[in-house]
Amino acid sequence: MKTKLLTLFSLISLAFAAQTYSISPAKTVTFSAPYNNITINDIYMTNTGSTTLSITWELISINLPATWDYSMCDLGTCYTGIPAGPNTMNTATAGGANPFLGLNINPQAVAGTGTVVVRAYKTGSPSSADTLTWKITAGAVGVEELTASKTGIKIYPNPVANSLNIEFGSTKVQEVTITDALGRTILKPITSTGNNTIDLSALQKGFYLVNIVTDEKVMFKRIVKE
């Protein structure tokens, strides 16, 4: 009986010894990465013990589009890509800087989804490892009706007889298309920042959609051709 109690006590002691940090915001994080920008998403391992803490982490898997740029930073080092490991972070004193893993993603201009998975644990206690997962979506992340008050983009006049004016303001626009009521692309004008004038004189009377793609979303504006 004493042997069993001692064994149980030892296992409990080891478990508590291994759990000296808390994870935030979560073990799995999901985020959107806009085109042609670096998005950084950190997972922290806050020291909950009374002594210094050292964290070791190892790569489990990378499933990302081949053209995306990515890298990983931890407390003390930013790596080229994501090394397989094991990688050990600088130690952090209790109440001081906390170990973290920061995934850096730049999808260029390629839409897609991906995941990165690593395991992290208190150095010397791999049996108590936590699995950390990043889930990423890149590209247009929403579709909504365009309003000048929200975006600064102005489209006028509406109704329009011949020339349609589009003012982008400071919004970075990737593409503008005009589609008919059946969803067919009628015009795909070349766009730039600032003001643009599009000749619609050849279009038949009716309803059309002006579709604008930015780094973060797809927007549309209903117009009437007179």
Query: Taking the domains of the chain in order of start, what are their residue ranges?
Result: 21-138, 143-225
pLDDT grade for 103, boundaries at 50, 70 and 90: very high
**What would the DSSP string read from start to end of 96-152?**
SPPPEEEEEEE-TT--EEEEEEEEEEETT-GGG-EEEEEEEEES---EEE--HHHH-
Write the CATH number of the domain with boundaries 143-225: 2.60.40.3080
pLDDT in tens, 15-25: 444 557 889 88
Which has the minimum average pLDDT: 87-101, 103-117, 140-154? Answer: 140-154
Percent of the chain with pLDDT over 90: 23
Per-residue pLDDT tens digits for 10-64: 444 444 445 578 898 889 988 878 776 788 888 988 888 778 888 999 999 999 9
**Domains 21-138 and 143-225 agree in fold:** yes
CATH fold of the domain at 21-138:
Immunoglobulin-like (2.60.40)
Q: Per-residue confidence at 84, pLDDT binned at 50, 70, 90? A: very high
**Contact, 55 vs 44, CB < 8 A?**
no
Is the whole model's pTM more than 0.85, yes or no? Answer: no
Our CA angle for 214, 68, 168, nearest 5°, is 15
Does the pLDDT at position 152 exceed 80?
A: no
| Share above pLDDT 70 across residues of the chain, in percent, rounded to a whole number | 77
| One-letter amino acid for residue 50 of the chain | S
| pLDDT, averaged across the chain | 79
Q: What's the CA gap between 139 and 186, in Å, rounded?
A: 23
Q: Residues 192-209: what's their mean pLDDT?
A: 82
175 pLDDT above the threshold of 50:
yes
Residue 183 has pLDDT above 80, yes or no: no
Q: Tell me: pLDDT of 215 over 70.
A: no
Model pLDDT, residue 166: 87
